[in-house]
């Protein structure tokens, strides 16, 4: 069964892994392409499997309204969330992927320009290969975790396991995808800054080239964030739901002393946190490299050895960074994606968690009062 899951996972990931690992060369988006045809096949397969396993989905929905273990409630919630996640996946192909492909081509063009304009520089692919291998390993781990979740549960059937694994891996892949593109933007910015530092003469035209390249890197980072906005928001909110539910369950179970169920909830807790942190922290690192780090580098330049035109270009460069609010990356120019968003989401989750615990304590008090009243 594990080998079967591996084959399904690898075939399903072809469409997305092409986008993940291909930064050199140019990509195209076409409704006549093999990836699109395969995606249509996957979508039809998922629709058929969803209809075929409709009773299992209803069973998961009924479990939420019954007295059940926290592990069962979490599993039911996780299963039900896969349906809107699948719909978002179809939306992503028609409305997000064209913009994503455009952003990847822009990234490849920026890298090529850096290599052509600064022949002494060489953008190493070692770190990108490392991240590719690391993310590939993480996908395998997520597949194993997904198999562990569904296998042996009250919902398990062969067809439903395929449906679940399709959506579960795709959901996690959205977080990995965002981390990958922001990491690539960060590395481009870091290499550009290193080139600018090594350029001891700081000629006006070279500073202007670096300025233009910086604007292009920030623009493509913003483009990636806007392209993935709907998908990332859905993933963030669904993972926060699991974070709150699993945290609430573990706190209540700690009071009860049920160690076994606590251990069963721990993977849900860490997996949900990992997905949200992966999105926000990678974007934050790209912002820091493009914003604060670049700004400090420009402020630390020795302007006494520079011409008037170079000094003016440095000032324009700094004004551009300040105008972009230190290279802030937003979702559709509405939500700032980064560490502040992570802190806000976690604080809001803690607030809801406290409210849930208060309701739980009140329910226990009411139950104890009722028992004392009815006691002879």
DSSP 179-232: HHHHHHHHHHHHHHHHHHHH-SS--HHHHHHHHHHHHHHHHHHHHHHHHTHHHH
Q: Please state, in angstroms and rounded to a whole number, the distance separating the CA atoms of residues 192 and 317.
A: 14
- Looking up tokens 């997905």 gives 275
Do residues 173 and 136 make contact, with C-beta atoms less than 8 angstroms apart? no
Q: Is the pLDDT of residue 4 over 90?
A: no
Confidence label for 113 from pLDDT (cuts 50, 70 and 90): confident
pLDDT at residue 286 greater than cutoff 60: yes
User: What's the pLDDT tens digit per position in 308-319?
Assistant: 888 888 889 999
Measure the CA–CA gap between 205 and 68, rounded to whole angstroms.
68
What is the distance between the alpha carbons of residues 272 and 246, in angstroms, rounded to a whole number? 9
Which range, 120-129, 340-349, 355-364, is most confident? 340-349
The H or E element that residue 156 is part of is: none
271: its two tokens: 């997996």
pLDDT score of 32: 64
Residue among 179, 6, 178, 169 at smallest CA distance from 85: 169
Between the alpha carbon of residue 374 and those of residues 367, 369, 371, the distances in Å are: 11, 9, 5
Round to whole Å and give the CA distance between 31 and 100: 15
* Alpha helix ranges (H) inside the chain: 2-21, 34-52, 54-64, 70-91, 97-117, 126-150, 158-198, 204-227, 229-256, 259-288, 294-299, 308-323, 339-374
pLDDT at 150 over 60: no
Percent of the chain surpassing pLDDT 70? 58
Up-side HSE of residue 52: CA atoms within 13 Å toward CB? 14
Q: Give 62's pLDDT tier (boundaries 50, 70, 90).
A: low
- Mean pLDDT, residues 327-347 taken together: 87
Q: How far apart are CA 238 and CA 236, in angstroms?
A: 6
pLDDT tens for each residue of 209-233 = 889 999 999 999 999 898 888 888 8
Q: Please, how many CA atoms are within 13 Å of residue 29, restricted to the half-sphere of its CB? A: 16
Neighbours of 237 (CB within 10 A): 13
pLDDT (tens digit per residue) in 350-376: 887 777 777 655 544 444 455 445 545
* Residue-level pLDDT at 15: 39
């Amino acid at each position: 069964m594990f080998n079967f899951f591996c084959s399904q996972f690898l075939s399903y990931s072809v469409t997305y892994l092409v986008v993940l690992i291909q930064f050199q060369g140019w990509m195209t988006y076409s409704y006549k392409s093999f990836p699109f045809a395969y995606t249509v096949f996957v979508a039809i397969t998922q629709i058929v499997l969803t209809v075929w396993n409709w009773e299992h989905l209803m069973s998961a929905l009924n479990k939420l309204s019954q007295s059940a273990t926290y592990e069962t409630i979490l599993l039911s919630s996780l299963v039900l969330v896969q349906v809107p996640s699948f719909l978002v996946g179809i939306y992503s192909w028609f409305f997000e992927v064209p913009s994503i492909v455009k952003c990847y081509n822009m990234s490849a063009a920026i890298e090529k320009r850096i290599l052509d304009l600064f022949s002494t520089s060489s953008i190493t692919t070692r770190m990108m290969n490392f991240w590719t291998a690391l993310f590939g390993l993480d996908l395998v781990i997520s597949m194993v975790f997904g198999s562990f979740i569904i296998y042996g549960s009250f919902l398990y059937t062969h067809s439903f396991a395929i449906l679940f694994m399709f959506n579960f891996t795709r959901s996690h892949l959205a977080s990995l995808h965002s981390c990958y593109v922001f990491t690539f933007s960060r590395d481009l910015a870091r290499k550009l800054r290193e080139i600018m530092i090594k350029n001891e003469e700081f000629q006006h035209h070279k500073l202007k080239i670096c300025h233009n390249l910086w604007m292009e890197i920030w623009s493509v980072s913003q483009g990636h964030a806007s392209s993935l906005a709907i998908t990332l928001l859905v993933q963030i909110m669904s993972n926060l739901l699991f974070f709150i539910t699993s945290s609430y369950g573990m706190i209540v179970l700690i009071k009860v002393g049920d160690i076994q169920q606590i251990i069963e909830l721990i993977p849900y807790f860490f997996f949900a946190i990992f997905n949200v942190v992966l999105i926000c922290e990678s974007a934050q690192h790209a912002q820091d490299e493009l914003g604060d780090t670049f700004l400090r580098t420009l402020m630390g330049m020795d302007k006494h050895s520079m011409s008037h035109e170079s000094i003016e270009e440095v000032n324009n460069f700094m004004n551009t960074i300040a105008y972009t609010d230190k290279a802030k990356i937003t979702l559709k120019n509405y939500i700032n994606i980064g560490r502040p968003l992570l802190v806000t989401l976690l604080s809001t989750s803690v607030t809801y968690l406290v409210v849930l615990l208060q309701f739980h304590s009140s329910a226990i008090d009411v139950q104890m009062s009722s028992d004392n009243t009815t006691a002879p």
